Structures are given as C-alpha cells and as structure tokens.
C-alpha cells in the first residue's frame, strides 16, 4: 500500500494491512505538523505532490526495504493539501518476524521519503508562507 | 517535437500555470528545455535552487535527450515526510 | 501512560495520548503474537505479570527515556492473559519534536521491557507449552 | 518476623500457590528466604534458572536483609514484549 491522498490518513487501515501471522513486530512512524519551525509559529503545512511519480517512488522505497531487510509487509501513505497542527502528514507501517527489520525499514523509509519522493510542503506561519527546501536567505513567497 | 512540462510547488506558482506544451528541436536535452522555459517564464529562475529532473516519472540527468510526447517535470528540493 | 491490562490494547488511545502540538514525529512499536517460534507452531502466547511492579518498571523506562532523549510524551501498555496470533501484546508510542528521539526512545523501551519488567510469557504450541526464558534443554512443562 | 512471598509464572505453577507467608529469623537475607522456601516447596528448584529478586517492588541483591512485612518476589527470566 503506497499512496498519496487528500483525506486524513487512517493509522488503523495501515496497521491492519501489515498485520501478518508470521510477524512478531510492527513499527509505525507518523509525521505530524509541529506548531513551530526555526523560530516561526506554524499555522499549518500544505503538501503538494507530483502524484503518479510520488506513488511510484513510495513503492520503490518499499521494494528496496524488502531487499535490505526481512520484512513481511509495508505501507506508506502520504497526505496532500493542508495538514493542521497535530495531524499526520505521513504514516509508515512495517511488519516483520523479528523487530530489528521493522525498525530499520521504517527508519529507512522516512529518510528516503525526504530525499527522493516528489512531494513539497509549504509552511504557513504567522506572517507569511514559504516552500520548505527552497529558501535562499529570505522566505521566497511572502503573503 | 513537443513535450509536456508539468510545474509543481514553487515552480507552479512562479510559472503561473501547472502545465505547458513546449516545442523543441529534435534531440534537445533536459537542460535545453529548461533554458527555453526560462525565456518563456522569466520568474522560473529561483537563485541557488538545486533541481532534479524527471522524464515520464523517472529521474534523469540534465543532459539526457528528450523525445516527442515526453512528460517532463523539474523537481525543486522535495520536503515531504515530516518536519526536521 | 504506563499500564498492564487484560483487555486488547487500543493503538489509537496511545497515539492520541502522545499527540502533541510540539511534536513532529510519533514512533510506535507493536509486539504481536507470531504463529511460529524456534520451529514450533505457536497457538497463542499467555502473559502473566507482577502487575504493580511491572507498571512501576514501565514508568521507570519512560522516565529514563525522557532523560536520554528530547521526547514530548510516551505511553507503554502491555497486555496480560492469552494473546492470539496477530494480536498485540505490547504497544509503545513516543512523540518528539524531531524524529531521531522518537525512534531511539521506542527502540530503547522494547529492549528494556525484555530485560527488567516482571512479565512472563508462556508459549502455547502444538504439542505443549513452555515458559519462555526458563527453558533448560527441554520445555519444562509438557501438557 | 514474617514476610509475604508472591510467586509468578513458572514458580507459581511449581509452588502450586501464588502467595505464602513465611516466618524468618530477624536479619535473614533474601537468599536465606529462598533456601527456606526450597525446603517447603522442593519443586521450586528449577535447574540452571537465572533469578532476580524484588523486595517491595524494587530489585535487590541476594544478600540484602529482609524486614518484617516485606513483600518478596523471586523473578524468573522475564519475557514480556514480543517474540524474539
């Protein structure tokens, strides 16, 4: 299950998906909108994707994780559009027979997502907004 | 030949559109397409930005040649996942 | 939230508990009953605790994690009694501003649980049952 | 003096009871209690078992002295959490 969507992500759906009789461990990672970033009061994060390629890259991460570690099942769902404080922008769930693999694969997945998956986030903060990662000194887009 | 260019995030905002069809001479590279687009959309030039390139949803190099009907996306630094 | 209980563990309850406006990351770990162990076909795991001390030790693990890493909130709930294949025996949830701390603390917690928390598990398998950790050559208790 | 001993898991099964009050002489240690219990419950002796000791819900050493009213638990290898 490798998907981007506008609806809130359902943690239970992912955990059910990776639940497996052969698994002794499930690791999940939930990325959430934090109310502050680099000294700014954050109001929300707004995610945009190149959706077809984003899902393809998420699946590629899953395939690579399955090659590196003995995992049973994996799911990654990323949310698009505005994500309010405390809400989930991404959830990763991995099951494995032994816990080592689930931990390693979920860690690997979030690091990879931040490197190669064509998803961008605009931070909406008190006083402006900025596309994260493209700052060059000053925020590029002021309200 | 013609390629389809999609813009996302900061590039979409700067181009003022999400998609454009661009006429190119045979054998043009990704980099040549970018030069052409910068003439058509001067605001696309974001100083200091590190960019990746995708053709038909696969990452490619700046000097790869394009073909008629390709879907090309210029990918500004990605920032999905979670806050730092 | 550091608790042992006979009822099934509600993942959502733990995640809600650790959700925090200051957090950008939540890591969870779910230990589940696997259908096999060391070549035996497992039917269920049956957990027993010294409950007051188990909860005290779980809280101690939480306090130690909070000293080691910058975490926001932490919850550990361990189930007692029979836990069927695919069901959760323990769930750990940790939130933190930056993902590093949540990953490290959840990993630390499961390793510590296996060392110091007075909870024992009897494996019920096809052909017998055995208290895990006390095997000395042969399973000690045959049906 | 008297101490309360609780048995769990394999020791509960082997003792055939979850709890027992044990009379001890003043200044008796955890280890001396264990010797006394093994006389009362011969099946408690599990060959090769590594044991920890808790008094009033804190881990203690085998040579710590006990006091009247203490709650003592002999802790066989713990195995909570998840499968290996």
Percent of the residues in chain A that have a pLDDT greater than 90, as a whole number: 88
Percent of the residues in chain B that have a pLDDT greater than 90, as a whole number: 83
Instruction: Summarize pLDDT for C28-63 with one digit per residue, the tens.
Output: 999 999 999 988 999 999 999 999 999 999 999 999
Instruction: Using alpha carbons, list the distances in angstroms from residue A6 to A51, A85, A91, B37, C24.
Output: 11, 16, 13, 30, 19
- Taking the C-alpha atoms of residue A134 and residue A121, their distance in angstroms, rounded to an integer, is 10
Instruction: Summarize pLDDT for B43-53 with one digit per residue, the tens.
Output: 998 887 889 99
ipTM given for this complex: 0.91
D80 neighbourhood in chain C, CB within 8 Å: 47, 49, 54, 78, 89-90, 113-114, 117, 119-121
Whole-number pLDDT of residue C24: 95
Report the top-level CATH class of B2-75. Answer: alpha beta
Which residues have CB under 8 Å from A106's CB, separation 6+?
Answer: A27, A28, A29, A92, A93, A94, C27
How high is the mean pLDDT of chain C?
A: 92
Asked if the model's pLDDT at residue C143 lies above 70, the reply is no
- Taking the C-alpha atoms of residue D6 and residue D17, their distance in angstroms, rounded to an integer, is 9
Secondary structure of chain A in the HEC alphabet? CEEEECCCCCHHHHHHHHCCCCCCEEEEEEEEECCEECCEEEEEEEEEECHHHHHHHHHHHHHHHHHHCCEEEEEEEEECEEEEECCEEEEEEEEECCHHHHHHHHHHHHHHHHHHCCEEEEEEECCEEEECCCCECECCCCC
Q: Where are the domains of chain D?
A: 2-75
Mutate which of D44, D81, D84 to test chain C, going by most C C-beta atoms within 10 A? D81
Which residues have CB under 8 Å from C122's CB, separation 6+?
Answer: C45, C46, C47, C48, C129, C130, C131, C132, C141, D9
Picking from D10, D12, D81, the nearest residue to C140 by CB comes out as D10
Tell me whether residues A131 and B10 touch, CB distance under 8 A: yes
Does C23 touch chain A if contact means CB atoms closer than 8 Å?
yes
Instruction: Summarize pLDDT for D9-62 with one digit per residue, the tens.
Output: 999 999 999 999 999 999 999 999 999 999 999 999 888 788 899 999 999 999
Cα of A90 vs its chain's centroid, Å: 3
Tell me whether residues A136 and B48 touch, CB distance under 8 A: yes
Tell me whether residues C29 and A31 touch, CB distance under 8 A: no
- Pick one of 3.90.1170.40, 3.30.70.360, 3.40.50.360, 1.10.1130.10 as the CATH number of A2-32+50-119: 3.90.1170.40
Biggest CA pair distance of chain A: 52
Instruction: Summarize pLDDT for C55-111 with one digit per residue, the tens.
Output: 999 999 999 999 999 999 999 999 999 999 999 999 999 999 999 999 999 999 999
Which residues have CB under 8 Å from A42's CB, separation 6+?
Answer: A33, A34, A35, A36, A85, A123, A124, A125
B/A touch flag: 3 or more CB pairs below 8 Å: yes
With H, G, I as helix, E, B as strand and everything else as coil, classify residue C68.
helix
Tokens 């570690």, residue located: A69
A-D CB pairs within 8 A amount to 9
Instruction: Summarize pLDDT for C128-137 with one digit per residue, the tens.
Output: 999 988 764 3
Confidence bin at A135 (pLDDT 50/70/90): low
Whole-number pLDDT of residue C135: 63
A/D touch flag: 3 or more CB pairs below 8 Å: yes
Whole-number pLDDT of residue C142: 36
Mean pLDDT of the A91-115 span: 96
Asked if the model's pLDDT at residue A143 lies above 80, the reply is no
């Amino acid at each position: 299950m490798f998907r981007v969507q506008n609806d809130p992500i359902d943690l239970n759906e992912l955990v059910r998906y990776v639940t497996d009789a052969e698994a002794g461990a499930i690791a999940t990672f939930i990325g959430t909108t934090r109310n502050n970033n680099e000294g700014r009061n954050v109001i929300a994060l707004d995610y945009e994707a190149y959706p077809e390629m984003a899902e393809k890259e998420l699946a590629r991460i899953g395939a690579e994780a399955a090659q590196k570690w003995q995992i049973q099942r994996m799911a990654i769902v990323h949310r698009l559009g505005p994500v309010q404080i405390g809400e989930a922008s991404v959830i990763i769930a991995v099951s494995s027979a032994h816990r080592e693999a689930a931990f390693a694969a979920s860690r690997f997945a979030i690091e990879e997502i931040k490197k190669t998956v064509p998803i961008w986030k605009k931070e909406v903060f008190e006083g402006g907004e900025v596309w994260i990662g493209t700052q060059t000194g000053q925020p590029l887009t002021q309200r | 030949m013609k390629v389809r260019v999609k813009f996302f995030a900061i590039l979409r905002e700067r181009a003022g559109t999400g998609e454009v069809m661009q006429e190119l001479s045979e054998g043009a590279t990704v980099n040549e397409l970018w030069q052409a687009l910068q003439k058509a959309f001067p605001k696309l030039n974001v100083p200091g930005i590190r960019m990746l390139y995708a053709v038909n949803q696969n990452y490619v190099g700046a000097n790869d040649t394009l073909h008629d009907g390709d879907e090309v996306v210029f990918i500004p630094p990605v920032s999905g996942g979670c806050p730092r």
